[in-house]
Amino acid sequence: MGRLSGKVAIVTGSGRGIGRGVATLFASEGAAVVVASRTASTVEAVVSELQARGGRALGVRCDVGRKEQVDAMTTAAVAEFGAIDILVNVAQGFGTREQPTPFPQPRALEAISDAEWDFTLGTGLMGTLWCMRAAFPYMKDRGGKIINFGSLAGQRGSAATAAYNVTKEAIRALTRTAAREWGRYRINVNVINPAARSRALDEYQRNNPPKTDPAAQVPLGRLGDALTDIAPAALFLASSDADYITGMTLMVDGGLLILP
C-alpha cells in the first residue's frame, strides 16, 4: 500500500472499465485521483466510491475530444491538488459525435465515413495529445509518468475497424516521440496494450457474436480483468519501479499477441 502516496493522477475514461480500475487502484495506493469522463453520473459514482474507501478524488466531466474541456480539467486538477504527477489516457470514443456508439461499428475501410474518422481520431489521438500537452507544463520541472493506451487491433490491423486501428497505432507513435523529447525532463511515456473484458467488448460481441470464444485464443486461457490485471500494470508504470522505462509498449494480454 502507498506506492503512489503524495502523487496526483489524472485518469481519463475512468467512469467505467479499464479507466475505473486504474483510478480505483491508484487511489488505494495513496494517489489523489482526478476521475474524468464524458458522463457526469459515472464520474460521480466513481468519486463517491473512492471517497467512501478513504481516497482523495475529484470528479471532472470531460470530453477529451474538446480541447477546451481538457484544459479545464487540467486547471481543476491543479487547483484542487496542486500538481500533476501521473496522466493515464484511457478515454476513446466510437461512432460519430452526432451518434456515438459503445464500440467500433464493423465497417469496410472504404465505407467508414469522414465523420467517424474525425470522432475516433479526435477522442483518441487528439484527446491523448491534448491531455499530454496540458499536463506537460506541470511535469516539466518535477518529472512525471504518462501512460497511454493502445490496442492489439492496431498492431494486427484487424479487419473492419480501420479508424480505431489507425488511432491506436498513432497513439503509440506519439508515445515514442514524446518519450524521446521529454526524457530530459524525467517524464516517462509508455503504452499499455490490453486484452481485457470491457463494456465495449461485451457490446461488440452481443451485436457481432464471435465464432469462437475469444478467451480460447489467449494462452493463459482468459481475458484480463480491469482491476486485477490491467490496473496493476499501470501502477507499475506510474511508480518509481519504472523510472528507467520509457517509449515502450507493455503487452498486458495474457500472451494473445506474442512478438519476438
As a whole number of angstroms, the distance between CA 1 and CA 19 comes to 20
**How does pLDDT run across 106-126, given as a tens digit for each residue?**
999 999 999 999 999 999 999
pLDDT at 202: 75
- Domain of 37, in residue numbers: 8-195+225-249
For residue 1, what pLDDT band results from cuts at 50, 70 and 90? low
Cβ(247)–Cβ(171) below 8 Å: no
Domain count, the chain: 1
Is residue 135 domain-resident?
yes
Q: Which of 161, 235, 188, 227 is nearest to 2 (CA)?
A: 235
pLDDT at 246 exceeding the cut of 70? yes
CA distance 73 to 235: 22
Mean pLDDT score, 237-251: 98
In the set 164, 185, 204, 244, the catalytic residue is 164
pLDDT at 213: 84
Give yes or no: 185 in active site.
no
Q: What percent of the chain has pLDDT over 90?
A: 90
SS3 of 193, please?
Answer: strand
Domain-embedded: residue 254: no
Q: For residue 233, tell me if it sits in a domain.
A: yes
Residue 173 has pLDDT above 70, yes or no: yes
Give the pLDDT confidence score for residue 97 in this predicted structure.
Answer: 97
The CATH number covering residue 32 comes to: 3.40.50.720
Q: Report yes or no on 207 lying in a domain.
A: no
